[in-house]
């Protein structure tokens, strides 16, 4: 239960910190942090939680990461479902807290997106469903390669959280214009349920693509490094 609690708390922080920066700070008049700041915020949530709870639960914070680690031989199948449930619940609770904060400002309206992921007319840059699908698959695949490589026993020890956090930052710098960056079904679900409508209708892509990408990442790492250790 401590592991599941850690995953809940860690995913809560990821969604509150990452999506919160997008909703509350990205466009703040005069000092908005923009795409670069939001990208860094997501990376910092993972980096800080990796040091805080990595020794408790492994700090997955992401159903796709848990599935990818299972596919890579690093995680038992028996823990997949409770980890995923804890992660999704953490994301939803964080989305609720963010909604309470954001709705304290006059004129707030979730129809503006509330940091939800989308494609087509709901893509920040107007990118198609196919572009969004390819982006999410490839970005998550590379994220798993980074995770598996940085946490391999043959890698330099103690630096994995930095590599993983910076990896997630880079992923956001690349893909925010395409999908608002998911690579994490719990992150997507955590805000989409408060938007409803189109965000829930398009949520399927942000479950399927990251999971497919995570498995491909595990397969790719095995191909270049042998069995993950």
Residue 175's pLDDT is 97
The answer to whether residues 95 and 15 touch, using CB atoms and an 8 Å cutoff, is: yes
H helix count then E strand count, the chain: 9, 0
* pLDDT on residue 29: 87
Domain range 2-225, CATH class: mainly alpha
Q: What is the pLDDT of residue 1?
A: 86
So what's the pLDDT on residue 111?
82
Cα(14)–Cα(218) distance, integer angstroms? 23
* Domain limits, the chain: 2-225
pLDDT, residue 157, reads: 86
pLDDT reported for residue 30: 87
Q: Is the distance from CB of 175 to CB of 135 less than 8 angstroms?
A: yes
C-beta of residue 117 within 8 angstroms of C-beta of residue 192 = yes
Q: Choose among 125, 92, 120: nearest CA to 19.
A: 92
Label residue 34 left, alpha or beta by phi (over 0 means left) and psi (-120 to 50 means alpha): left
- Say what the pLDDT of residue 229 is: 53
Mean pLDDT in consecutive groups of 10 residues from the start of the chain, 229 residues: 96 97 91 94 97 95 97 94 98 97 91 92 97 98 96 90 97 98 98 96 98 97 79
């Amino acid at each position: 239960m401590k592991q599941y609690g850690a995953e809940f708390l860690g995913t809560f922080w990821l969604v509150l910190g990452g999506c919160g920066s997008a909703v509350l700070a990205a466009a703040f008049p005069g000092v908005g942090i923009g795409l670069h700041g939001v990208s860094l915020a997501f990376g910092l949530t993972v980096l800080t939680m990796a040091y805080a709870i990595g020794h408790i639960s492994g700090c997955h914070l992401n159903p796709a990461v848990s599935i990818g680690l299972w596919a890579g031989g690093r995680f038992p199948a028996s823990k997949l479902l409770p980890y995923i449930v804890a992660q999704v619940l953490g994301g939803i609770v964080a989305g609720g807290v963010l909604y309470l904060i954001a709705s304290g400002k006059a004129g707030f309206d979730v129809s503006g997106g509330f940091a939800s992921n989308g494609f087509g007319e709901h893509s920040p840059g107007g990118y198609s469903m196919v572009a969004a699908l390819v982006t999410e698959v490839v970005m998550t695949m590379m994220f798993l390669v980074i995770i598996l490589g940085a946490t391999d026993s043959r890698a330099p020890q103690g630096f994995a959280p930095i590599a993983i956090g910076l990896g997630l930052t880079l992923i956001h710098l690349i893909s925010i214009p395409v999908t608002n960056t998911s690579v994490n079904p719990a992150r997507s679900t955590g805000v989409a349920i408060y938007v409803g409508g189109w965000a829930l209708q398009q949520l399927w892509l942000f479950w399927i693509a990251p999971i497919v990408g995570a498995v491909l990442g595990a397969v790719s790492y095995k191909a270049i490094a042998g069995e993950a250790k």
